[in-house]
Chains A and B, each alone.
Chain A
Amino acid sequence: MREFLRTRGSGKLADNFFSAAMATCASSVLAIVIFIGVILVLRSQLSLHAFGWKFFVQSSWDPVSGQFGALPFIYGTLVTSFLALLMAVPLALGVAIFLTELCPNFLRAPISFLTELLAAIPSVVYGLWAFFVLVPLVRDQLGPFLVKYLGWTGFFDGPNFGVGMLPASIILAIMILPIISSLTREVMMAVPINQREAMLALGATRWEMIRTGVIRNARIGIVGAVILGLGRALGETIAVTMVIGNHPDIAKSLFAPGYTLASAIANQFSEATGDLYLSALIEVGLALFLVTIVVNAIARLLVWAVTRGAPARVH
């Protein structure tokens, strides 16, 4: 027997080779991130030198005179993402609570399947729908309604073309809903069942059980899920480009057309003439890259903090 094993060899060489190959592929993930960062910095060298930090606080974006300031894009990105979160988070929480705690068993699978289906629809299809259905809806129904009842806030001044920040926020909210609700659901399911039982045994109603037994335990993870949704909203490109109106101006009104970082790149990149223009757009991309990396890193750490101890679920 021993003789036989010796003739076969230990396979150490093959083993080492295999593990090295796997490790190489794994490190390619890290290499990709570093590589993207490096190449974006290199390519935006020109605009980095020309404008420095002022790039992010200047509000004029004028390719003709060579003035590039990204503030309108940053403003548009922040406003649309914030509004999208405002709409999506309560709904996503409601869906997650319904699916984990209240839903009768036979409805659970189909409803969670349907919400996941929302995530499988490509961005361009959302954009198509928003462009042909949502924009007229905002122009003819939602817009006048908002002016009538919320006009005094000043957020709904000016002409309403249908395209603008408002429809962009709405379509963003629809798009980030599934990711927030499915992650929140995951985090809430990681809360041990005996927490719930203990709360109920103490005489709590179901909502009190959810609030003190489930949400309070899962709050870090829920915040993580929301931030992850924010990361998605910040970087969403095509659907937003199709409905935001693409106009580099800072306006208080939500009817006004705007621009986001991502839509500026999508809309102008292929027609960018001149090296400075191109490098300014790549710098916008660099800013987007860094912001989403930071946002995602924070979100992942928060989600991990909650779900790490949870038993692996069997699908």
Chain B
Amino acid sequence: MATQPIPAQHIPRQPDSRTRVNRVFRQGIDHLVTGLAILATVLVLIPLAAILIYLLYKGFSSLNLAFFTKIPAPVGETGGGMANAIVGSGAILALASLIGIPIGIAAGVYLAEFGQGKTFGTLIRFTADVLNGVPSIVMGIAAYSLIVAHQKHFSGFAGGIALAIMMVPTISRTTEEMLATVPHSIREAAYGLGIPKWRVVLSVSLRTASTGIITGCMLAFARVAGETAPLLFTALGNQFWSLNLNEPMAALPLQIYVYALSPYDDWHRLAWAGALVLIVMIMVSVTLVRIFAHRGTLKGGQ
């Protein structure tokens, strides 16, 4: 079957003025949108730069050794630090991680290894995503209603529970995603050796995906480390040393919130220093774990 040659006269040799205007117009729009996209990106980066630079400037100028070693000074006295808040944050976060990380990872393992294609698995996955979007203040009320209202007093324990609840959905979803990148051939090789499924999951799948899972846990940790709202009426805050999880406890974000809204200049200074310490703690922990997690683990799913 011969193809028909296209009659030459149908192709305009010289573009007439209308097509030229059209082309210039289209290219103009193209450049305009490119410019707008670049402008948008710059506009987004400006507040980020503004926040970080201002924070570094204000934070460093008000940071001193007393900040890390002293507890808050009474109203009217200058000086003092947030040592108790740093320790309190550490204790609350340790508790939250201790509860939230194992449950989160286990839920992720279920989603990836057992619940694939099951209705229940899809339901859990969906619920986790929805729970991820529930405001943190609601977690605070829930923890208050569950623990504080029964115990009749505020406690660091209740704050830890509220933060743990927030960690679970994030960790389970990243764990699932990371396990999904583990190649099936590795699992099949293990099954071929006669290893039971639980052992395969623990020593093969989780081991292979551990880099990503640790990163996911760190991100969840970083997210809850800066949370103030769930601690407002659970841990409450404390001006003194408190290492008892059964008592009101100071936490860094809480202290920043209270100090920022106070009328005293010296407390504002401490709030800036606290914000800087909080951000640095979050960033350093995330980066450190990323560096260490990249060492000595099997790379899966490339």
Contacts and interface: CB of A to CB of B under 8 A. Distances in A.
Nearest to B39: A94
B204 interface: no
A25 B103 contact: yes
Contact of B126 (A40, A181, A285, A297): A297
B127 A206 contact: no
Contact of A14 (B45, B136, B198): B198
Contact of B137 (A10, A18, A285, A300): A285
B168 A269 contact: no
A95 interface: yes
Contact of B196 (A11, A123, A133, A177): A11
Among B172, B201, B260, B302, the one with the most A-chain Cβ atoms within 10 Å of its Cβ is B260
A242 interface: yes
Contact of B44 (A27, A30, A95): A95
A265 B135 CA distance: 12
A87 B187 CA distance: 48
A303 to B, nearest CB: 9
Interface stretch (B5-13, B75-83, B222-230): B222-230
B260 to A, nearest CB: 5
Interface in A111-146: 111, 114-115, 117-118, 120-129, 131-133
* Contact size range, A: 35 or more
Main SS at interface, chain A: helix
B291 interface: no
Chain B interface size band reads 35 or more
Nearest to B272: A128
Contacts of B87: none
A250 to B, nearest CB: 22
A80 to B, nearest CB: 14
B211 to A, nearest CB: 10
Interface stretch (A48-56, A67-75, A187-195, A227-235): A227-235
A125 B137 contact: no
Contacts of A228: 133
A63 B68 CA distance: 41
A266 B232 contact: yes
B245 interface: no
Contact of B103 (A28, A95, A285, A300): A28
A33 B165 CA distance: 10
Interface in B92-117: 102-103, 106-107, 109-111, 113-115
A178 B71 CA distance: 36
Interface string A86-105: 00001111110111001000
B260 A29 contact: no
Given A122-B228, A123-B226, A207-B34, A128 B260 contact: yes
Given A33-B131, A98-B40, A300-B130, A238 B228 contact: yes
A5 interface: yes
Contact of A43 (B45, B131, B135, B145): B145
A288 interface: yes
Given A18-B201, A33-B127, A265-B141, 4 more contacts: A235-B134, A266-B232, A282-B141, A285-B141
- A-B CB proximity, top 9 nearest: A122-B226, A94-B40, A235-B135, A11-B196, A25-B106, A18-B198, A296-B133, A26-B110, A22-B110
7 contacts: A30-B123, A36-B138, A91-B44, A123-B227, A124-B228, A242-B257, A296-B129
